[in-house]
Amino acid sequence: MQHSGNTFVISSPSGGGKSSLIAELLRRYPNRMAYSVSATTRKPRQGEEDGVHYFFKTVEEFERMIGAGELAEYNSVHGNWYGTPRGPVDAILMTGNHVVLDLDVYGKVNFDKVYPDAIGILIVPPSEAELERRLRSRGTDDEATIQLRLKNARDELHFARSKGKYEYTVINDDFEKAKEELIGIVEREMG
């Protein structure tokens, strides 16, 4: 496939700040960068729209997409399926624009098998204590879910450091500094 756009995969544990940082990138580059909307079987959160935040699918619909080879990667996270539809990624790249994806560290490894030139950017919290504070401040999860997310974060960061292909790591301690560092990385890669 001929294209001139880059594929940026941004990963972070839940609560690491990647959604806010991705939103900043999309605001900064509205005509050069597009977001690849993932598919999921999880229920929508307050304010989320189908086709904007995620493609919300039933388990049966998701399994059909897997069987049809429509997903570049897919994985079960926190008891729900998540995956990246190939069609939208290819469509963005064919225009010459850059695509940004929000994938967990396991999804990144699988995505690289289909898109080996993807540029990996790992967003990490400054500490586990800060990650826990962020998860609690959301007010969306019960205690058991928070503890599961913290355990998963430890596992994800270990996996990313040992097996993940991340060209860059950004520590999200101060949001403005992390945003500027991320913008600098993206601008260097976009050329």
The number of folded domains in the chain is 1
List strand residue ranges (DSSP E) for 23-155, in order.
33-35, 39-40, 55-56, 71-77, 80-85, 98-102, 119-124
Q: Quote the CA–CA distance of 75 and 129 in Å, as a whole number.
A: 27
Is 174 within the bounds of a domain?
A: yes
Is 89 within the bounds of a domain?
A: yes
pLDDT at position 2: 52
Is 90 within the bounds of a domain?
A: yes
Is 1 within the bounds of a domain?
A: no
Tens of pLDDT, residues 9-41: 999 987 778 889 999 999 999 999 999 999 999
Q: Name the residue range of residue 117's domain.
A: 7-190
Tens of pLDDT, residues 101-129: 999 888 899 999 999 999 999 999 888 88
Structure tokens at 8: 């940026």
- Rg of the chain over CA atoms, in angstroms? 16
Read off the pTM. 0.85
To the nearest 10°, report the CA torsion of 69, 75, 79, 80.
Answer: -50
Is 49 within the bounds of a domain?
A: yes
Structure tokens at 136: 């609690």
- Tell me if 122 sits within 8 A of 171, measured CB to CB: no
pLDDT at position 164: 67
Alpha helix ranges (H) inside 1-142: 18-28, 59-67, 86-94, 105-114, 128-138
Is 79 within the bounds of a domain?
A: yes
Please give the mean pLDDT across all residues of the chain: 91
Is 2 within the bounds of a domain?
A: no
Element (H, E) at 169: strand 168-171
- Tell me if 118 sits within 8 A of 8, measured CB to CB: yes
pLDDT at position 50: 96
Tens of pLDDT, residues 143-162: 998 898 889 888 988 888 88
CATH code at position 94:
3.40.50.300
